Amino acid sequence: MKRYVCLYPFNQITISYDGKVIACNLDWPELMEMGSLKNDSLLDIYYNQKYESFRYMHANGNPQYMCEFCGGVASNIFRGDIEPYININKIQNITESQLSFFVVLELSLACTCICKHCVRSKDLERYPTIEKGYNQFLMKPEMLKLALSQLDEFLKEKDRTAVVMLHWRGESFLNPLIGTACEQLISNPRIKSLILDTNLQALTKDKIFQFLKQIKWPLAKHSNFDFHLSFSLDATNKDSYDKIRIGGDFELAKANALAFLEQRNALEILQLRFSFQFIVEPYNWDYTQDFINYWESRIDIKLDDIYIKRCHGRWEFTDLIPKIYSKTIKRFKLIEQAKKKPYLTLDIDENKYFVQKENSVFKYED
């Protein structure tokens, strides 16, 4: 019999810019705070009664109320649609021995844009933009040092490995410590992969060069390391870009994406792969094929990918999003294209050619 349970309580840790440890990176309002690095070690927080109770409730089909709004596996368990695991120890044994931890480390709560699909657009008081001043919403040097030290101790405790996502609710490149953070994470042998998403607005060609120069040698020493840098573009023209990424500059985003390609090749950084992301939305879906055509002639098709992504955020046209994505797939024959183009990634799991983002789901047969 198949049973499903959300993996996040068992193999994910989120650390906010100010040191809070949150149970799930989908909990943007921090309703499920488990503790703070200012007061306790990461190990103590992970094993404290609050965190253990949270995991126990998930394992027994009674997750906290916040999970009802997740839209993922946890929400199905909450409604009783899917039978959960019964044996919490069995889950913990499986996840800790077979899976890398997924660690979210937030360098910045502030962002440069107010995007239509983003939770930020619904609560601007909680999530600051650069117009309001943002230095107070960046992770400070002392907190970064503490977070990296605590993470290392946590991974050593059970000989764990980790994938680190170096962004969360804001734009990480607003923080001048980003190069240092990447350098130290790459140099840690327990970190196997680094994921970083950027809207490219806080960058210049010189900053890109300095960043790539800083991470080049750590990557060369860690030969099996995987660094995945994703560019949130979503447009091929200024008109659709301005409707989606309010406050952003389309020409700047495109120029910086091209600069990353050019300078990666010039510096010969072979372990850095780029993802050119296009979230299908009501304002841009007509331009999906234009986006593919433009970038496929410029990327390294053996290393990079073009990701045509379904909108998972909060949108005024929520009911239309699945229909628009399905219509886009059919109109531009994207399934047929993906069979011929391994660098084209779609957000569906209907055949082997697609990368489905299902790392939050663990399937078990008994």
Q: Look up the pTM and report it.
A: 0.86
pLDDT score, position 357: 33
pLDDT score, position 124: 59
Query: Contact at 8 Å (CB) between 48 and 23?
Result: no
In this predicted model, which residue has the larger pLDDT, 309 or 95? 309
Compute the C-alpha angle 91/310/301, nearest 5°.
Answer: 95
pLDDT score, position 316: 55
φ, ψ dihedrals at 160, nearest 5°: -80, 160
Return the structure tokens found at 25: 């990176």
Provide the Cα torsion 287, 292, 293, 295; round to 10°: 120
Q: CA-based Rg of the chain, rounded to a whole angstrom?
A: 20
Per-residue pLDDT tens over the stretch 156-184: 998 889 999 999 989 999 999 999 999 99
Residue 353 has pLDDT above 50, yes or no: no
Residue 364 has pLDDT above 70, yes or no: no
Band of pLDDT at residue 246, cut at 50, 70 and 90: confident
Find the range with the poorest average confidence among 119-123, 198-202, 234-238.
119-123
Q: Which of 154, 151, 61 is nearest to 106 (CA)?
A: 151
Per-residue pLDDT tens over the stretch 308-337: 988 765 555 556 677 888 899 999 999 999
Compute the C-alpha angle 157/360/114, nearest 5°.
Answer: 105
Return the structure tokens found at 314: 């909060």
3-state secondary structure of 3: strand
Residue 74 has pLDDT above 90, yes or no: no
How many CB atoms lie under 10 A from the CB of residue 241? 23
Distance CA(107)–CA(128), nearest Å, equals: 14
Residue 240 has pLDDT above 70, yes or no: yes
Residue 123 has pLDDT above 70, yes or no: no
Residue 99 has pLDDT above 80, yes or no: no
Residues in a beta bridge with 306 = 276, 344
Residue 347 has pLDDT above 90, yes or no: no
Helix, strand, coil % (nearest 5) of the chain? 45, 20, 35
